[in-house]
C-alpha cells in the first residue's frame, strides 16, 4: 500500500487536516505529524534552539511539541520512517485560507511541502480559500477532499508530474462540487499588501501591535492566468513551485554591472 505523510500549519486538531486524512485513508497508509499548536505564516524554518517531542494522538498520528511544519516533516522522514523507506507523498494542508501569490513565502503550509521535496519526496500543498476561517467548524471541505483524492490517485496511477525540488501548490475556491468548473494550471499572482498593523495599549498603557489579515488583493502578471483569478472564477488553481529562487534573467546584467 502506498504511504502518505500529512502535516499542516493550523495545528494537529485542525478540521482541514482531519478532512485530508478522511479523504485519503482508504487509498494509502497515512501518517500524520502536525504542530501541537497553530503555526500559520511561520515560513520554512527549523527549530534549532530547543528540543522537540513527539506526542502520540492516535495510531499513526502525532503532534510535535513545539515544532512547525518543517520540523514535522524533517523529523518524520528521519526519525519515524526508520527503515529508510520514505513515503510516496508528503501532503501539507488542508490549510484554512488561501496560499497564493507572495503569501507562499510566509506560508507554513508551503513550508511543509518544501521540506518534503528537499528530502526527496514528491509533495503537495493544498489550501482552502475561506471567507471566514473562524467558521471552519461548519465547513465540510467537500470539494477540497474530492480534489486531493483525484490528484493523489492520478499520481499513484501514473507519476508525480514535476522534477526534483518542485512541488504542487493547490488552492480550492469556496464553492460546492456542483459549482466546480475544473482545474487551471496557473502562475502566482502579484499579491498586493497594505499596512495592517494595529496599534493598541494593554491595561498598563504599554503599546503593542497586532498584525491583521490582509484583504485578498492582487494584480495579474501577464501571460498565464494567476492563482487568484482562477479561484475567483470557480476553478481549482494548481501552481508548480520550484525551490530554485535564482533570477536567471538577471545573471548577464549583473555580470555587466559588476564590470562597469
* pLDDT given for residue 62 in this prediction: 98
Q: How far is CA 174 from the centre of its chain?
A: 17
Q: How many CB atoms lie within 10 A of CB 190?
A: 15
Whole-model pTM above 0.85? yes
Radius of gyration of the chain (CA): 19
498598563: which residue's cell?
A: 204
d(C-alpha 51, C-alpha 66), whole Å: 8
Pairing of strands 166-172, 236-242: antiparallel
Nearest to 119 by CA among 23, 61, 247, 33: 33
* Selection from 110, 128, 86 nearest residue 7 by Cα: 110
Query: According to the model, what pLDDT value does residue 256 have?
Result: 95
Q: Beta-carbon neighbour count of residue 197 at 10 Å? A: 9
CA distance 128 to 236: 10
**Residue 143 C-beta-side C-alpha neighbours within 13 Å:** 24
pLDDT for 163 equals 96
Provide the pLDDT for residue 19. Answer: 97
Segment-wise mean pLDDT, segments of 10 residues, the chain, 260 residues = 97 97 97 96 94 96 96 97 89 96 96 98 97 79 98 97 97 97 96 88 93 83 92 98 96 92
Amino acid at each position: 500500500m502506498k504511504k502518505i505523510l500529512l502535516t499542516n500549519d493550523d495545528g494537529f486538531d485542525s478540521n482541514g487536516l482531519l478532512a485530508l486524512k478522511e479523504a485519503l485513508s482508504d487509498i494509502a497508509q497515512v501518517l500524520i505529524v502536525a504542530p501541537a499548536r497553530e503555526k500559520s505564516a511561520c515560513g520554512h524554518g527549523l527549530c534549532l534552539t530547543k528540543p522537540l517531542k513527539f506526542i502520540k494522538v492516535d495510531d499513526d498520528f502525532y503532534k510535535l511539541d513545539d515544532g512547525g511544519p518543517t520540523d514535522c516533516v524533517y523529523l518524520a522522514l528521519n526519525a519515524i520512517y526508520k527503515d529508510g523507506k520514505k513515503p510516496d507523498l508528503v501532503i501539507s494542508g488542508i490549510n484554512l485560507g488561501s496560499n497564493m501569490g507572495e503569501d507562499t513565502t510566509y506560508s507554513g503550509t508551503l513550508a511543509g511541502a518544501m521540506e518534503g521535496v528537499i528530502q526527496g519526496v514528491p509533495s503537495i500543498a493544498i489550501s482552502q480559500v475561506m471567507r471566514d476561517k473562524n467558521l471552519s467548524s461548519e465547513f465540510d471541505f467537500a470539494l477540497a477532499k474530492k480534489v486531493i483524492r483525484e490528484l493523489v490517485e492520478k499520481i499513484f496511477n501514473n507519476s508525480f508530474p514535476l522534477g526534483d525540488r518542485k512541488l504542487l501548490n493547490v488552492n480550492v475556491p469556496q464553492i460546492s462540487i456542483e459549482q466546480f468548473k475544473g482545474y487551471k494550471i496557473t502562475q502566482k499572482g502579484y499579491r498586493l499588501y497594505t499596512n495592517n498593523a494595529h496599534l493598541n495599549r494593554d491595561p498598563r498603557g504599554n503599546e503593542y501591535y497586532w498584525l491583521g489579515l490582509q484583504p485578498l488583493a492582487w494584480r495579474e502578471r501577464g501571460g498565464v492566468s494567476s492563482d487568484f483569478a482562477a479561484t475567483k472564477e470557480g476553478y481549482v488553481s494548481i501552481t508548480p513551485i520550484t525551490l530554485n529562487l535564482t533570477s536567471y534573467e538577471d545573471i548577464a546584467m549583473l555580470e555587466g554591472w559588476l564590470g562597469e
